[in-house]
Amino acid sequence: MTVADLLRAIKRNWLMEIILFVITIGIAVAYTLTATPVYSSQIQLMAKTSDSSSTVQSSSGSSSSLSSYVQLVQSDAVLQPVVDDLGLHTTVAGLRGHVSAATLDTSSPFLTIAVNYTNADDTIAILNSITDQLNKQAKDGASQSVTFTVVQKPVKPSQPSSPNVKSNVVIGVLAGLIIAVLGAVIRELSDNKIHDRADIQQTVDAPILAAIPRSPTVAGRTPAIIVKPRGHAAEEFRRLATNLTFVAPSSVSNNSNLLIVTSAGPGEGKTTVSTNLAAAFAEKGESVLLIDADARHPSVAKALGLSNGVGLIKMLTKDVDARTAIQPYWKPELHVLPVEDESTASNVILGSEIMRTMIDQATKHYDHVIVDTAPIQVSNDASVFAREGGTLLLVASQGAGQRKALRETVRELKVARIKIGGVAFNRVSHERSRKGNYYYYEQSETGAKRGGKGSDHHTAAAAQVPSGPAVQNDSGHAPRRSASAVASK
């Protein structure tokens, strides 16, 4: 993970990071407030022999060495009487954990005893009692009488030494930051969904041609350009149609007007993009043939409210002619070729020579031929159609698309030597940075939401036009399309 990936993960998961940070701080504060306070104090003693008043050294060379008394401080012989005399509510082993002793160096006669206990008064009492018991044991056990004289008396602590509120809060803040960042990284690594443009741009070496909003206008059965031509969604589809003309092959012989629409996985809205693109081209008076080539899951006819009892497969097998299979929609320039539900050997037919011939004929008689194919993870039909030339448009949906599937799709297309012309980023949530745009289209989008299904159904019924001979378009010239010409050869 690069620094840019880390920053993006932090930005994307900010809400979770705040929650983790607050929880960590809360745990640190709760521990500080509920922890038992501990008071610390110490006493410094000097060891002397009683016969010559000479000091006892800390070397280990004699039985009266000071190091042996360091161990004696934590012995049962010293601590048990302390517990009994003071009536402490603890055991010898428990008290031993609160008592420590040390010398300054090997030549020093000074012995320092420190006690950490839950009561300030008991802390002082324990230090004094240990001193008394140490003198008693030293007098009874040494060959020469040893006396421990108090050099520095213990001072009663006014504040607990533990817990340290400031230190715990600082540690909690640092731990909260670390846990929040780690949580964001772990979630980023485990999250496989496509969330923003960066997820696409990291994988696909192709431009994002449009960001289609998540809108009730797009969710209906009728293209957004027909339902709300002034809406934001309609403008994005127009943007997509325009940008596709910039990335399309310049060679006419390479089927430059052929557009193959696919996605990495199912449910990313490729059919919605196909139908709206067809409407966007037809709106300009350009002839369009929209072909549903996803025989495994026919969806174009359903999306537009058309019948698919007769369509692509029967036309290719010459059971019906093109005039019967191709249906007009909305404008005379827009034709739809659905695919039937029953398609036993459809995958073989779609890759046949007759299909390639039909595509070649269609590109000669229509300004635009849009082929809605199966997702790459389901079938490689898109690669088969793209070999005939044209532009491959990859649809990636925010929240529904999978980054792993997108990587595998790019890898498969690269093996097939198929170039991705561009990406349509679909179902994009509202962005604050584009608040002005949404405000600009607010009235039209709201109207679409109020229209509901009834409005869509009424528009869909009005969108279909009867089949017949070529009709003059708004610009005064006949569109370049003919259903009979598609199947003439």
Q: Determine, yes or no, domain membership for 381.
A: yes
- For the four alpha carbons of 27, 28, 34 and 38, in that order, the dihedral sign comes to positive
Same structural domain for residues 376 and 466? yes
Query: What is the distance between the alpha carbons of residues 208 and 393, in angstroms, rounded to a whole number?
Result: 10
Instruction: Band the pLDDT of 431: cuts 50, 70, 90.
Output: low
Predicted pLDDT of residue 387? 84
Predicted pLDDT of residue 342? 64
Of all residues in the chain, the percent with pLDDT exceeding 90 is 44
Same structural domain for residues 234 and 100? no
Query: What is the distance between the alpha carbons of residues 229 and 216, in angstroms, rounded to a whole number?
Result: 13
Same structural domain for residues 30 and 46? no
Is the pLDDT score of 357 beyond 50? yes
Predicted pLDDT of residue 109? 84
Query: What is the distance between the alpha carbons of residues 438 and 448, in angstroms, rounded to a whole number?
Result: 14
pTM for this entry: 0.66
DSSP string, 193-226: B--SHHHHHTT--S-EEEEEE--HHHHSSS-HHH
CATH code for position 226: 3.40.50.300
Q: Determine, yes or no, domain membership for 157.
A: no
Q: Which residues sit opposite 262 in a β-bridge?
A: 394
The more confidently predicted of residues 454 and 80 is 80
Q: Determine, yes or no, domain membership for 87.
A: yes
Predicted pLDDT of residue 341? 79
Same structural domain for residues 185 and 240? no
Same structural domain for residues 242 and 269? yes
Mean pLDDT of the chain, nearest integer: 82
The more confidently predicted of residues 126 and 147 is 126
DSSP string, 64-84: T-HHHHHHHHTSHHHHHHHHH
DSSP string, 338-365: ---S--TTHHHHHTSHHHHHHHHHHHHH
* Bond from prior residue into 163 cis (ω within 30 degrees of 0): yes
Same structural domain for residues 206 and 105? no
Same structural domain for residues 103 and 131? yes
Same structural domain for residues 238 and 111? no
The more confidently predicted of residues 483 and 294 is 294
Is the pLDDT score of 198 beyond 60? yes
The more confidently predicted of residues 45 and 481 is 45
Query: What is the distance between the alpha carbons of residues 448 and 436, in angstroms, rounded to a whole number?
Result: 19
Same structural domain for residues 122 and 237? no
- End residue of a domain, out of 90, 122, 152: 152
Predicted pLDDT of residue 140? 72
Of all residues in the chain, the percent with pLDDT exceeding 70 is 81
Instruction: Band the pLDDT of 279: cuts 50, 70, 90.
Output: very high
Q: Taking the C-alpha atoms of 118, 123, 129 and 133 in order, what is their torsion angle to the nearest 10 degrees? A: 70
For the chain, what is the domain count?
3
Predicted pLDDT of residue 423? 96
Instruction: Band the pLDDT of 54: cuts 50, 70, 90.
Output: low
Q: Which of 41-45, 147-151, 214-218 is predicted most confidently?
A: 41-45
Which DSSP state fits 143? Answer: S
Predicted pLDDT of residue 180? 92
Q: Determine, yes or no, domain membership for 30.
A: yes
Tell me if 176 sits within 8 A of 21, measured CB to CB.
yes
- Token representation of residue 226: 């027909």
Same structural domain for residues 369 and 454? yes
The more confidently predicted of residues 381 and 107 is 381
Predicted pLDDT of residue 348? 66
Average pLDDT over residues 420-437: 75
CATH code for position 117: 3.30.70.1130
Same structural domain for residues 124 and 173? no
The rounded Cα 292 to chain-centroid distance in angstroms is 33
Is the pLDDT score of 276 beyond 50? yes
Which DSSP state fits 109? Answer: -
Query: What is the distance between the alpha carbons of residues 220 and 218, in angstroms, rounded to a whole number?
Result: 6
Instruction: Band the pLDDT of 121: cuts 50, 70, 90.
Output: very high
Q: Determine, yes or no, domain membership for 158.
A: no
Is the pLDDT score of 384 beyond 70? yes
Query: Of 65-69, 327-331, 368-372, 380-384, which gets the smallest average pLDDT?
Result: 65-69
Same structural domain for residues 21 and 108? no
Predicted pLDDT of residue 65? 66
Q: Determine, yes or no, domain membership for 11.
A: yes
Predicted pLDDT of residue 419? 92
SS3 472: coil
The more confidently predicted of residues 73 and 462 is 73
Give me the domain span that covers residue 84.
39-152
Query: What is the distance between the alpha carbons of residues 314 and 320, in angstroms, rounded to a whole number?
Result: 6
**Beta strand pairing call for 110-117 and 99-103:** antiparallel
Is the pLDDT score of 460 beyond 70? no
Predicted pLDDT of residue 484? 53
Predicted pLDDT of residue 488? 46
Q: Determine, yes or no, domain membership for 20.
A: yes
